[in-house]
Every structure is written in structure tokens, then in C-alpha cells.
Amino acid sequence: MDQTPKTFGQQAGRRSWAEPWKIKMVEPIKMTNPADRQEELERAGYNTFLLRSECVYIDLLTDSGTSAMSDRQWAGMMLGDEAYAGSRNFYHLESAVQQYYGYRYVVPTHQGRGAEHLLSRAAITPGQYVAGNMYFTTTRLHQEMAGATFVDVIIDEAHDPENLHPFKGNVDLNKVQRLIDRVGADKVAYISLAGTVNMAGGQPVSMGNVRELRLLCDRYGIPIYLDATRMVENAFFIQEREPGYTGKTIAEILKEFCSFTHGAWMSAKKDNLVNIGGWLAVNDWDLFEELRNMVVIFEGLHTYGGLAGRDMEAIAIGIEEAVQDDHVRSRVGQVRYLGELLTAWNIPIVQPVGGHAIFLDAKRFYPHIPQDQFPAQTLAAELYLDSGIRSMERGVVSAGRDPQTGDHRYPALELTRLTIPRRVYTQAHMDVVAEAVQAVFEAAPQTRGLKLVYEPKYLRFFQARFERI
């Protein structure tokens, strides 16, 4: 047997994937130095949302609005029809949503939370419940502000970062049934179904699960509304993991999944590959009438919803690009590449690796830091200090306070998210990130937690300030 060590690239039979695009324009980024980073982090109150982006080296804060648009999308921007009413770009957007997501009626919004606001107001009567596969920050807040109580009905496996369930975003149908039995079907406004589940680590929902959920909901007349923000990535996992879907395209799987739901809201800033935008789409005419009327109050006329014509054009083109199998494979493949490096180095991350981000398990980085000293916030700060890489807390700070008791909500998952923008960074950037995470992991035993010194009333993770303990 040949004992010669094989170097990377010489492995027999090795076949790599590569991005299905090449780079036409670049944006320089600058390396930062430790002293400046310390000063900037203190100025930002140890909150990565408050850092100036020019002080960031590799920006993994979010995949929201940070993707690179294609040459076709930029060309589409020049075709913006900026008429106040009836812009042709709206009709292009409407037909793209109808074609790829399959819903009948479409309302544009300025971004995802604009759509969440409208749907929550239109579909919730105060005092009702909304059942969802784990909360999302803005989504739950809009549901609560519309008078609903959110109930988590995700499967238990989702709360365990080490559990390898292939569809950790699935809804536990028994939990839904128990809620219906407890409060009555008429008190359940809708099921808030997210594909993939952001706060669980970008975990998917299976086709089998949404099919069964629909059967259950039909028995009680409860609608299912889909957070389609990262549904394309969800479709990829179905194609890869669910029997019967290997031969289907991402576009076919996406449309089939949506067909089990009554409508969807979208932050187009993610899957749809644009820097700004969102939409709502439903099948029911009466609900559409209400949404179309309300959008005029809060966003703009129903044919622009707070967007410029050029933005709608870019979304319409982005929708088509986003469902191409090659694109999704390389997008999730890049996230997975980073995940595999970290896994090989025994760094604790949420498994299986999800669609849009790597989630570092801060509880296992810092077993000595109690949750009320914000381990995940601490980890995000440490990573920035080490190398100028920006990440985001997804733990006790993001979970906020219980509206009834006013206490912190303590989620089982205390995570720091390294979110990968689409079509922006290269494999070399991922190597640099992995090495920085490893350095921070090695220094973990000496790291101290944080204390909260300023807390805004809503969505505190965006603007809260901390000091080192």
C-alpha cells in the first residue's frame, strides 16, 4: 500500500464542488488590529449590532440583505418602473411568486417584518394563540403585539444541539393537538410554520411533516402560514434527506411544500437574494382584501408596499435564481464546509449543520459562565476581539423577557451564529473563520461573562449594551 502522505488536492478520486458563478466586481475589506477592536467593542457596548461595519473584517452578523446580487439582478435594477401605481415590476414580482411559490395573491412589503406585522394584525384576534415551530424574534413580537400568545410546538429534538435528527424543524403534532384540546380550535389563530427554523440552527421541516400537519389542521379549520424566508434551503434538505425527493428539483419541492400551507410571508433579503424587500402571499381572497387594504396604511400602495420598482424587479429575478439546484447546493455546501472543519476540530456546534449558518454552542464553550452572564453574547464579543469577525447572539438576550413575569426567558439553546451571506465570501474566508473560532475556543476557560447595562423595551438584542464582569 502506498504510504506517501497525500496532500490536500491529491486524494484519489477527489471531486470538489465549486460555486456556480465567478466574481465580476470586488469590495475591498480591511484587516483590523487588536487595539482598535478593543476600543470599538467597548464603544459598541459589547454588542456586535452596534459595531461600525468598517471596523469589521469578515461580517457574519447575518445573511439578511447581505447577499451579492447577480449581473442580471443589477441589470434589472435599471428597468425599475418607478410609477406610484401599477409598476410593471410589481407584476413581474407577482408572477414570480405565483410561479415558484404557488400562492394566488401577492402583497409586497418593505421587508419581512412588514409582512409579519400585516399578517399578525389581519389573522389574530386578541386572546388567541399562535402555535409555531420555535419562535423567531420579530415574528413572535408581532404576534404578541397583535394580542396572541405564542406556543412552541417544535419537536423536542430541536432544543438539543447534539441531536442528529434530520428534520429538527418538524412540528410535534401531539403538541398541536394538546393545545387544541386545552384552548379549543377557535382560539388557535394559525400555525406559524418556518422552513428552515432559524433559532434552532437553520433546521428543516420534512414534507411528510407538513403533509400531516395539514391533515390535522384541516380537521379543525386552522390555517397554516409559512415563514418562507429560507424555504429554498429547506427544499434542499428535503431533496437530500427525504425518501422520494432525490429526483425532484428544488423548484418542484418548494412548490409542493407551499401547497400544504394557506399562505406565506417572506423576508426577500435572504433566499430571494436582494438587499431589501419582502412579500406576503395568500390563497384566500378575503384575507388578501384585508392585507391589501392594510398595506396602504403601513407600507405603501399595494403595488409597491414600501419598495422601489427596481427593488421589486431584483426580487423577481432573485426568486428565479434562488431555486436553481446548483445555486442552493453551493450555498448550503459552503456553510457545511465551515461546519465540517469545526466538527473535525471538536468545536461544539449545533448538529446537523443547517442551511444558512453555523451555530456555536456557547454553553459548551463556557460551562463556567451562567446563562444570566450571557455566554453567547460573550462569545460573539470574543470572536470579534480575536480577529474582527462579526457574529450574532442567539440565546438569552435574543429570547427577551417574558411579558407576564418580566424575567429573562432562558432558552435551552444558547448559541452564537456565524451567518454566511450568499455569494459573498470564498472558501479561504471560511478557513480564516474556522481558525479564529478555534483560537477563541482554546482561550475559553479564561473568559469572563458580561453584565447588561442598558436594555431597550423591544427586541433588546439589537440595541442592548453590556460591560465585562
Catalytic residues: 84, 136-137, 227, 270, 394, 461
Question: Which window, 16-24, 132-140, 164-172, 282-290, contacts ligand PM9 (CB under 6 A)?
Answer: 132-140
Q: Does 67 bind ligand PM9 (CB under 6 A)?
A: no
> How far apart are the C-alpha atoms of 11 and 13, rounded to whole Å?
6
Q: Does 135 bind ligand PM9 (CB under 6 A)?
A: no
Sites for ligand PM9 among residues 93-112 (CB under 6 A): 111-112
> How far apart are the C-alpha atoms of 52 and 277, rounded to whole Å?
23
Residue 256, Cβ neighbours under 10 Å: how many? 17
Q: Does 136 bind ligand PM9 (CB under 6 A)?
A: yes
Sites for ligand PM9 among residues 434-453 (CB under 6 A): none
> How far apart are the C-alpha atoms of 440 and 34, rounded to whole Å?
14
Q: Which of 40, 45, 47, 62 contacts ligand PM9 by CB under 6 A?
A: 62
Q: Which of 195, 223, 278, 421 contacts ligand PM9 by CB under 6 A?
A: 278
Number of residues that bind ligand PM9 (CB under 6 A): 16
| Shortest Å distance, C-beta 462 to ligand PM9 | 8
Q: Does 272 bind ligand PM9 (CB under 6 A)?
A: no
| Shortest Å distance, C-beta 234 to ligand PM9 | 11
Residue nearer to ligand PM9 on the CB measure, 116 or 248: 116
Residue nearer to ligand PM9 on the CB measure, 61 or 434: 61
| Shortest Å distance, C-beta 421 to ligand PM9 | 10
Sites for ligand PM9 among residues 221-240 (CB under 6 A): 227, 229
| Shortest Å distance, C-beta 122 to ligand PM9 | 17
| Shortest Å distance, C-beta 113 to ligand PM9 | 3
What are the residues facing 279 on neighbouring strands? 108, 266
Sites for ligand PM9 among residues 245-264 (CB under 6 A): none
Residue nearer to ligand PM9 on the CB measure, 354 or 441: 354
Residue nearer to ligand PM9 on the CB measure, 278 or 375: 278
Sites for ligand PM9 among residues 169-198 (CB under 6 A): 194, 198
| Shortest Å distance, C-beta 16 to ligand PM9 | 29
Site mask for ligand PM9 (CB under 6 A), range 9-48, x = bound: ----------------------------------------
Q: Does 393 bind ligand PM9 (CB under 6 A)?
A: no
The C-alpha cell that represents 26 in the structure block: 470586488
Q: Which of 37, 92, 113, 262 contacts ligand PM9 by CB under 6 A?
A: 113
The C-alpha cell that represents 86 in the structure block: 401599477
Q: Which of 139, 203, 272, 373 contacts ligand PM9 by CB under 6 A?
A: 139
The C-alpha cell that represents 430 in the structure block: 471560511
- Smallest CA-to-CA distance from 342 within 420, 428, 414, 438 is with 438
Residue nearer to ligand PM9 on the CB measure, 227 or 361: 227
Q: Does 387 bind ligand PM9 (CB under 6 A)?
A: no
Q: Which of 48, 64, 70, 373 contacts ligand PM9 by CB under 6 A?
A: 64
Residue nearer to ligand PM9 on the CB measure, 87 or 137: 137
Residue number with the shortest CB distance to ligand PM9?
A: 112
Residues in the site for ligand PM9, rule: CB under 6 A? 62, 64, 111-113, 136-139, 194, 198, 227, 229, 267, 269, 278
